[in-house]
Amino acid sequence: MAARLALDKCAGAVHRAGLVPGHAGETRSNRYKGIRRMGRCKLVVGNWKMNGLLAQRDEVAAIGAVAADHSAVEVGLCVPATLIAAADAVKGAAFIGAQDCHMQASGAHTGCLSAAMLAEAGATWTIVGHSERRQDQSESNADVATKALAARAAGLKVILCVGESLDVRDDGDAEAVVSEQLIASLPQGAAADWLAIAYEPIWAIGTGRIPTMDAVATMHAALRAALASRIGAEAGGMRILYGGSMNGDNAAELMAIDDVDGGLVGGASLTAAKFAPVIAAAGDRMAAEA
């Protein structure tokens, strides 16, 4: 019941934002500000990657309890597929998600899991397009878009990941490259009620390094502008998460950036003790914006 109330509260907080015209003489910091931020509920999701056995159910339960204390924030855990059902049984106010799904509903795909299978196990969200899958499994932008549609067809909400390598960042092309990747990965019918975007600077994942706050702000604003070019005013309600080494030490500063609507959190989500400060930072920001 607590999880349902939290989700309803978040759903009620998402409003469509109006477009505002650009003007000549824009600086780098406001170059992409074409959509005003309006009431997007913070979304904080742990990606456990290839971590988590049944012994970690107590951590899931503890994170669910933390989520209940911050009901203005939508909190979830994307756990290994083998843990979805067990995690769903103890999730409390958090939701349980998957880390990937196959693009087909069924068939001769040994070792793969369809979105319907994940939903049946208890998942309500799934990640698609994570950089580790794009790199390790050679997933294309078209694959990612198709997986997102497959997830939606099975009733799952989707976190779609995009991001750049260190070489792209150093070349000064990050905003253009990642915006193009987002446009190419965006599924038909993309809408804020079932899709969120996660920006993950690939070079920052698991390293403890993050871009400057100005760089994060510029990238997130660029991604919102890219969304607006495809889906118009709907872009104002779509949440864009930051996904590169967010933790309790930097979450408050990251959450304060206008177009950062939460986080996709890796190592810092594996225990309630480490994840709680991130969730609290999101809750504090929601309170400040109320």
Which residues are catalytic, by number?
A: 130, 200
Strands 262-265 and 195-199: unpaired
Q: How many CB atoms neighbour CB 244 within 10 A?
A: 26
Listed in sequence order, the DSSP H helices in the chain are 2-13, 57-68, 84-89, 115-121, 131-136, 141-153, 166-170, 174-185, 213-231, 251-255, 272-289
The pair of structure tokens assigned to 185 is 């990965």
Q: Give the containing element (helix H, strand E) for 22.
A: none
Q: What is the Cα–Cα distance from 144 to 187, expressed in whole angstroms?
A: 8
Is the distance from CB of 71 to CB of 40 less than 8 angstroms?
no
Q: For the beta carbon of residue 150, count every other beta carbon within 10 angstroms.
A: 22
